Amino acid sequence: MNTDTHVLSVLVENHAGVLNRVSGLFSRRMYNIESLSVGVTEDPTVSRMTIVTSADGDSLTQIMNQVSKLIDVKDIKILSLDNAVLREHVLIKVSGADVAGVMQICNVFRANIVDISSESMTAELTGAPSKINAFISLMEQFEVKDLVRTGLTGLLRG
């Protein structure tokens, strides 16, 4: 993450239209959402949105103030490497020509092979963004056929 990238954890009411209202606020204000992850919490009436956005300090304050004013928003916090556990998930499909080479890299990263055929292998990995980036970089030598990343999700420590 660069210095202008921020991770927001937003607790919202879990009902239709909330995601649209929150993301719409970002687009109306011309703030980019780099990644967005949403899921139900331990309380089925509440969802947690993890939003990664780029903004300077003043813009971040403005974003947080505007998001917190939305009726469906219960809480908003900034997550950082210092105060939170941040993770991302990746699925990457590569050519199956060098099974041993792919498996060796997967073993080093503790990635799992989740699908294999005569033409390709698909691996999954969960970890910090830097770990995901390093894994993808090494897997590129095996002809990446397809790739999907979830974007960040996280919780405050403690």
If one looks up domain 84-156 in CATH, what number appears? 3.30.70.1150
Whether the predicted pLDDT of 1 surpasses 60: no
Q: Is the dihedral of CA 69, 71, 75, 79 positive or negative?
A: negative
For 116-150, what is each residue's pLDDT tens digit? Answer: 999 999 999 999 999 999 999 999 999 999 999 99
For 97-123, what is each residue's pLDDT tens digit? Answer: 899 999 999 999 999 999 999 999 999
CATH architecture assignment, domain 5-79 = 2-Layer Sandwich (3.30)
Edge-to-edge strands of the sheet including 5-13?
33-40, 46-54, 5-13, 73-79
Instruction: Write down the domain spans for the chain.
Output: 5-79, 84-156
Whether the predicted pLDDT of 2 surpasses 80: no
pLDDT of res. 97: 86
Residues 6+ away with beta carbon under 8 Å from 154: 7, 9, 50, 79, 84, 85, 86, 87
Whether the predicted pLDDT of 3 surpasses 70: no
Q: For the whole model, what pTM was predicted?
A: 0.85
Give the span between the Cα atoms of 91 and 18, in whole angstroms. 28
For 29-80, what is each residue's pLDDT tens digit? Answer: 888 899 999 999 999 999 999 999 987 778 888 889 999 999 999 999 999 8
